[in-house]
A and B are shown apart, each in its own frame.
Chain A
């Protein structure tokens, strides 16, 4: 596409008129890297995406797609420069390439929780500690030294072993504490041994991680530094070029596992950091989709472009959370309940998202059966009752004369906004004086969260793909470390361990659901406040998208551009 900007804006407008009336559905949710903190979850292992297209979009759409429309180049935003293109050296590159350049054995979408086979043609679990997988036919990209050869079981073994050794990408303890060994029994079969049973093994947080589960040629997996300069995978797209970790160009992999796909000829990424500039670029068709920070941006785009753009709206899985200490005077369950009752959630939603948000329990609403029902939420964390809050707090003898420290993550506008609202509401409604301390992420994580150096902390949770991650904080230990808030409750701890070892899906889901109600009763100091409704805009000519399936939709090979 020719470059358009303010000098050629009128031309761009005219062309825009030409494509009007071609409004379609769906989104190539490759805006993955496109937003800073506006979807509240930039560190999410599942790549919280505003909306996702299914790898198999609705049958009606694909039937009549003529081949002539299957050669477009998707223009996408990149929100920040990558420190390295090596997927083992940065979460950003690991995620982006995981969804494009690299293939995986399988993937488990969060909405169904049912494992879907990708490269693997068969996965069996003869016992809770053994996984046998058979790989189907797939080929690496045609670049030296691999030169397009077929994928062998030893590639998978080398990839998984290499990933488990990487200190910077293993975003779950599954890779270090659960995974025991990987063996290639022949060219097509591998056996994975586990150290302990884990019912959540196949989720995308764990074995199904889009980053650590990426299949890399054995030659490269044994020497991962080679990915600093060259990326060779077996995914839908082949890496072409980059400029200092920005402005990536990907092209279609000619020998992709699914014949005839992907329909796009390539994807080009453009570095745009400022949201204001991203919106301008979107209007000028320099990028085809953009994540929107709020309703105002959405309304403005709708007003400007009308039906030419599709707006996708999704309830986020990133829960804005307030955590306070769980020991000493805080251990009384009434303290947590009082603080929760004193938070006016509607004000949070109004101020932070212009009314675009929902109440949430610990597990956010998109999870369905595992999440609390609306009635349950309004009975517990969802209720604001200042009089009751005051009564609860005064009955515990909580010391309100002291100034307490609330630590939040900087930089980022929304984190600061959330912390300010908590501070103001608790001061007005309960008379708790709070001093805000912004900390950069590294310090916040190490000293405050893990080091338990806080009275209060606030953060948006990650958009996990497995619901147990949300309730994991109730355990006596979290990922091998003592409970962050110093909260210890044997009953909740036992319940956490129980669901982890329950392999029946329905029973496990019910356990996750019930733990949350128990947490309210027992005063677990992790207070869910709300989830945002995230919006994204996509030009109508980007078709072949099916929304609402999270990061799973990023494995879509059937996006196409229906441009004049």
Chain B
């Protein structure tokens, strides 16, 4: 095919050199000035990651503890997001929800992107039958759009966190492998690889010492780009009652559990968890875009 449709995919490897040069702080500062939205996204995502890690220690109440807030109470100073039907503190639940949402989506993306990158690098570098298998596998999986994959896995393995993680991970897997394959091919034909080969380096050594370090940063970009989508998918699946068990402080679950109550004026029960999802997705999207802009000069403007 003559047209490269994945324009965002062909990247220069400036990223790889970012860390190695003197004055990188200044350089980072310049990048930050060019990408104020990216910095904002990084801050937002960072806040949620912080909440995800330290949430359990800083929430005013145990998110599962009953009758600590007025039942269906409106937001007040002591309970900024109000209380739900169990008298649980919604503020604590929304904070605690960060851990559930981020753990599942980050785990899924990590597993998917890491194994996808591995396959892509293998295929791109060694070619032949490995490449063939990886490529055909990718094409076969392209026939499973998100929903089909979720439904298949749910039918096969029942509902649960593992199923959701596997489903989201598989979605990220072959996207990652395609990008990494392309980059590996470009890299393995570059002059310095030729040079290394000519001085007698073994193929494995070239792969490990030269090719992988140069294409690996791409994995990070893939991950950051896919994170927003993964969080959206996770929350939508939780909303449908798949994924984590009911009762867990999870944004998607809180929204579906409180839908009917929300109609009776208890808007705070769905609006705050919904805003939390929107914000964290916003953060990761902005960060992902900024990273890509920095690293792909063709899109920089």
Contact = CB atoms under 8 A, between A and B. Distances in A.
* A joins B in a complex: yes
Interface of A: 274-276, 279, 293, 296-297, 300, 347, 350-352, 354, 410-413, 415-417, 419-421, 423-425, 436-438, 440, 443
A347 B245 contact: no
Contact of A413 (B67, B87, B245, B257): B257
B163 to A, nearest CB: 12
30 contacts: A274-B260, A276-B262, A296-B72, A296-B261, A296-B264, A297-B264, A347-B67, A350-B71, A351-B67, A351-B85, A351-B86, A351-B87, A410-B159, A410-B246, A411-B241, A411-B246, A412-B246, A417-B247, A420-B64, A420-B247, A421-B66, A421-B86, A424-B66, A425-B66, A436-B245, A436-B247, A438-B245, A438-B246, A440-B158, A443-B158
Given A420-B64, A436-B245, 12 more contacts: A274-B259, A279-B263, A293-B260, A347-B66, A351-B67, A351-B86, A410-B246, A416-B246, A420-B86, A421-B86, A437-B245, A438-B247
A236 B143 CA distance: 51
Contacts, number: 65
A410 B86 contact: no
Interface string B241-254: 10001110000000
Interface in B225-279: 241, 245-247, 257, 259-264
Contacts of A412: 246
B65 interface: yes
A420 B71 CA distance: 15
Contacts of A274: 259-260
Contacts of B67: 347, 351
A416 B263 contact: no
Contacts of A423: 64
A438 B87 CA distance: 21
A357 B87 CA distance: 18
A336 B246 CA distance: 26
A300 to B, nearest CB: 6
A300 B67 CA distance: 23
A276 B66 contact: no
Nearest to A438: B245
A287 B247 CA distance: 32
Contacts of B263: 276, 279
Given A300-B264, A410-B159, A354 B245 contact: no
A410 B247 CA distance: 11
Contacts of B158: 440, 443
A352 B67 CA distance: 12
Contacts of A276: 259-260, 262-263
Interface residues of B, number: 22
A293 B72 CA distance: 15
A351 B259 contact: no
A500 B263 CA distance: 48
The 8 closest A-B pairs by CB, nearest first: A416-B246, A438-B245, A411-B241, A276-B263, A420-B247, A275-B260, A416-B247, A276-B260
A351 B264 contact: no
Interface string B145-166: 0000000000000110000000
Interface centre among B65, B67, B262 (most CB of A within 10 A): B67
Contacts of A297: 260, 264
A335 to B, nearest CB: 23
B71 A416 contact: no
Interface in B38-72: 64-67, 71-72
A413 B67 CA distance: 17
B150 to A, nearest CB: 15
Nearest to A350: B71
B264 A416 contact: no
Contacts of A421: 66, 86
Given A279-B263, A347-B66, A424-B65, A410 B241 contact: yes
A412 B159 CA distance: 14
B118 to A, nearest CB: 33
B154 to A, nearest CB: 10
A351 B66 contact: yes
Contacts of B246: 410-413, 415-416, 438
A350 B85 CA distance: 9
Contacts of B71: 350-351, 354
Contacts of A436: 245, 247
A412 B246 CA distance: 8
Nearest to B154: A440
B43 to A, nearest CB: 34
B261 A410 contact: no
Contacts of A300: 264
B176 to A, nearest CB: 32
Contacts of A275: 260
Nearest to A424: B66
A417 B86 contact: yes
Interface string B68-111: 00011000000000000111000000000000000000000000
Contacts of A350: 71
Contacts of A352: 85
A109 B179 CA distance: 69
Nearest to A300: B264
A122 to B, nearest CB: 49
A440 B159 contact: yes
Contacts of A420: 64, 66, 86, 247
A275 B261 CA distance: 10
A417 B85 contact: yes
Contacts of B159: 410, 438, 440
A416 B259 contact: no
